[in-house]
Amino acid sequence: MKLMTLTFAVTVCSLAAAVAVEPVLQTDEEAAIRKAVEAYVLAFNKWDAKAVAAMWSPEAVYINPLSDEQVVGREAIEKQMSETFAETKGIKLEATTNSIQFISPGVAVEHGTAKLTVADQTLENSEYTAVYVKRDRQWLLDRMTEEEIVAPPSHYEQLKGLEWMVGRWVDQDDKASVVTECKWARNNNFLVRTFEVQVRDRIDMSGMQIIGWDPVAKQIRSWVFDSDGGTGQGTWTKKENRWYVQQSGVLHDGRKSSAVNVFTYLDENTFTLQSINRTVDGELLPNVDEVKITKE
């Protein structure tokens, strides 16, 4: 009985030790694979075809991301790499490992992203899945599949001149405050500005403005919706550091309004706003004096 108890205790301790050691070993192996990725990128960017091929298993399968050609075997991979380096002078590789999963002690799958460039111009962005096998204490590439990352359409280039608007802005005195928050919508196709007018402790008005690029008119346009039920739209033009917004709209009771709002960029934390040529139903209204607005 004592012998059985002792054997059971030793077995339990051994299992506990194995459980404790396994994550440590796995962490070490993951670090080894990450180093292998770094070494691969370094060899690629030295245009050393022989060193790159040596990091693949003898029976590996490589698909050239530039031609989709399937290459089988280490020697064929070296030949393909030599041709790639000769045909695409100055080609560079960037790789980022996103995750590593172990299928067995000797097989691991790496998921990551890669970018091929020449003279700072991108040839291809891709997401890849690489299978590694461990041979003679070394992790070698065995299989790799890639999918091109297609960038979503964006009008950022047309709107980036208004990027300084992004953030939280405040104009206030001892009686009232106007707080505006601006952020990019997904894919940088629109700037979304929300505003809230507070008089003393009461919210007097709130609303939203959406700024985007009109690909037909080839200009920046905006649309406004306020909590009183009014709507408006504007067209934007720039002169030096000023943006002029020709605004037209409809009030909640159906009356038509118009104005020219002038945004003057001073620095990344300050701009001024003035509203001129204001009308309601054709009646001219006083201009709104220029106010300075600061970023919080």
Superfamily of domain 156-295: Calycin beta-barrel core domain (2.40.128.20)
| Residue-level pLDDT at 64 | 64
The H or E element that residue 216 is part of is none
Q: Give helix then strand counts, H and E, for the chain.
A: 4, 17
> Residue holding tokens 């075997």?
73
Give the pair of three-digit tokens for residue 94. Answer: 């960037």
User: Which residues of the chain, if any, have pLDDT below 70?
Assistant: 1-25, 64-67, 200-203
For residues 236 and 265, is the Cβ–Cβ distance under 8 A?
A: no
Number of CB atoms found within 10 A of residue 292's CB: 11
Q: How many residues does the chain have?
A: 296
| Residue-level pLDDT at 70 | 84
Q: Cα(224)–Cα(221) distance, rounded to whole angstroms?
A: 10
CATH number of 25-148: 3.10.450.50
For residues 200 and 177, is the Cβ–Cβ distance under 8 A?
A: no
Give the pair of three-digit tokens for residue 33. Answer: 């694979």
Q: Cα(31)–Cα(25) distance, rounded to whole angstroms?
A: 10
Nearest to 273 by CA among 287, 251, 290, 253: 290
Per-domain residue ranges for the chain? 25-148, 156-295
| Residue-level pLDDT at 65 | 61
Give the pair of three-digit tokens for residue 214. Answer: 């009109």
| Residue-level pLDDT at 13 | 41
| Residue-level pLDDT at 240 | 94
